[in-house]
Amino acid sequence: MNKHIIFVLVMSLLIFSDAHSQQNRNRNKNRVQEQSQNRKRGLNELDSIVYNIEGYFNKQQEQDRMRELLEQAKQLGRQDKVEVADLNKKFHSGIRKQQGLNPNISMGGDFFIAGSTAKSDYLNTPDSYSYGNNGIFMREMELGLESALDPFTRGKTFMSITKEGISLEEAYIEILNLPFNMNLKLGIFNPEFGPLNRYHDHALPQFDRPGALVNIFGNTNFGGPGVAANFLLPRILWADASSLEIATVHSGATEAFASGSPWLLQGVGHYKNYYDLGKNSFFEFSLNTAVGKNPAGFDLDKNYLSTISSLGLVYKWMPAGRAKYRTFDWKSELFYVTYQGIDGNTTTSKGFYSSMQNKLSSRFWISGRIGYTEKIKTPDQNRWDYTLALDFWQSEFVFFRLQYQYNNRPLWIEQNLDIPSDHSVVFQIGWAMGPHRHEAY
């Protein structure tokens, strides 16, 4: 009996102890779970605090940057106001702006060495027919002054300096954007006449002017004091642009025109059509005429007139993106001249030239020209000229040219001298100081 009681007590004690232990284990497990959840809540709250802090600092930086930009804008606004106030209220002397008022100044040099097989003094001595041969010559130094006088007017002056003295090549103003799409030119200038008349000597595609031009106008440009009006016309004959220039000039004495009175003027007309042939090339043609009193009628009551007509042709190819290395330029002009003599007879003469330039690389050009001309008063006298030249451009300011030329003169008489045929070689050096930009030829 007692054993049974003892067994029951022991078992009861063990059951109670186990139940108590299980209760403690459950209590500990719940405490651990609660602590874990508390830690998670703490971490979440910490992440939220960190996120809020970062957002605050980012927002603060944006606000600081915005305040900085606003401050800079305010400072710029205050500077603009100060400048406007200065311009309106402060006195400015002309000395401060003197540099801005100065024109573009440039100086170009044209030096050459020439040799010829001819022993004629007429060819070897520089004059209206020849630049000189069998010697060393400074053809000219050219001084250029160019300026935009105001938004509507440009002024240009070019002076030629040689050992003989200083001469005024061109000095004129251009008044732009007048009614009827007109620009006006007044002063001393070379009017538009064919592809080459506007070119100064240093800018010619070959060393000298074509023989046909020299025969008619001498070895200088055709031009002088006068007035010219240039009109942009509606497009004619499917052209991309059409223009007309009408001018009157006093050119001085030439083979075709008389001089001696300021009122011995020449009328000049120049009509041009321009065609784009794609993004790489263009073509243009011009119809040109010049009319004036000739030397046969000088000091006489009757008007003996000379009329010079020409057809000018120009083609140029410049590949897009490669114009620095490859370019082809072709210029040609055909002449028809009538001359009324004092005997009442009218003589007609013809002539032409064709010039080609081919750019071989960024520095080398090769060019050639062929020409023919008849004397104005005695068209049975004629000459042919054949020219080949190689140019090396050391830079855009310095170039060297080597030129060979053969002049075939089966019958050509000047000042009662029979001018012989000859072979000639010319070595030319040209250079420019300053922005020498006479025209966009």
Q: Who's near 297: CB < 8 A, 6+ residues apart? A: 258, 303, 304, 305, 340, 342
Residue 42 or residue 115, greater confidence: 115
Instruction: Tell me the C-alpha distance between 338 and 211, whole Å.
Output: 18
Q: Say whether pLDDT at 98 is over 60.
A: yes
Instruction: Tell me the C-alpha distance between 94 and 314, whole Å.
Output: 47
The sign of the CA dihedral 146, 172, 437, 204 is negative
Cα separation values, 219 from 121, 127, 197, 225, 305, Å: 17, 8, 11, 18, 22
SS3 call for 125 = coil
Q: Say whether pLDDT at 307 is over 90.
A: yes
Q: Which of 127-136, 164-173, 306-315, 385-394 has the lowest mean pLDDT?
A: 127-136
Do 264 and 258 touch, CB atoms closer than 8 A? Answer: yes
Where do the domains of the chain lie? 1-90, 110-433
Instruction: Tell me the C-alpha distance between 333 and 214, whole Å.
Output: 13
Instruction: Tell me the C-alpha distance between 183 and 230, whole Å.
Output: 5
Instruction: Tell me the C-alpha distance between 396 and 388, whole Å.
Output: 22
> In which region does residue 244 sit, left (phi positive, over 0), alpha (psi from -120 to 50) or beta (all else)?
beta
Label residue 10 by pLDDT band (50, 70, 90).
low
How, if at all, do strands 266-276 and 281-293 pair?
antiparallel
What integer is the mean pLDDT of 110-115?
Answer: 96
Instruction: Tell me the C-alpha distance between 77 and 368, whole Å.
Output: 62
Do 355 and 369 touch, CB atoms closer than 8 A? Answer: yes
Q: Say whether pLDDT at 354 is over 90.
A: yes
pLDDT at position 85, please? 46
Instruction: Tell me the C-alpha distance between 144 and 168, whole Å.
Output: 10
Half-sphere exposure of 32 (CA within 13 A, CB side): 6
Instruction: Tell me the C-alpha distance between 222 and 250, whole Å.
Output: 10
Label residue 142 by pLDDT band (50, 70, 90).
very high
What integer is the mean pLDDT of 167-189?
Answer: 95
Q: What is the pLDDT of residues 37-57, one digit of tens each?
A: 777 776 677 667 766 776 666
Do 153 and 202 touch, CB atoms closer than 8 A? Answer: no
Supply the pTM of this predicted model: 0.76
The sign of the CA dihedral 199, 201, 204, 209 is positive
Q: Say whether pLDDT at 249 is over 50.
A: yes
Do 243 and 219 touch, CB atoms closer than 8 A? Answer: no
Q: What are phi and psi of 369, to 5 degrees?
A: -150, 145
Q: Please state which CATH number belongs to domain 110-433.
A: 2.40.160.10
Instruction: Tell me the C-alpha distance between 265 and 385, whole Å.
Output: 31
Do 349 and 372 touch, CB atoms closer than 8 A? Answer: no
Q: Say whether pLDDT at 246 is over 60.
A: yes
Cβ count near 121 (within 10 Å): 11
Q: Say whether pLDDT at 301 is over 90.
A: no
pLDDT at position 440, please? 45
Task: Identify the bridge partners of residue 339 per DSSP, sorted by sequence position.
Answer: 306, 347
Q: Who's near 366: CB < 8 A, 6+ residues apart? A: 357, 358, 360, 388, 389, 390, 391
Cα separation values, 106 from 112, 141, 158, 171, Å: 20, 10, 9, 15
Half-sphere exposure of 374 (CA within 13 A, CB side): 17
Nearest to 407 by CA among 441, 373, 363, 366: 373
Q: Give the max Cα distance, the chain.
A: 182
The sign of the CA dihedral 124, 128, 131, 137 is positive
- Number of helices (H), then strands (E), in the chain: 4, 18
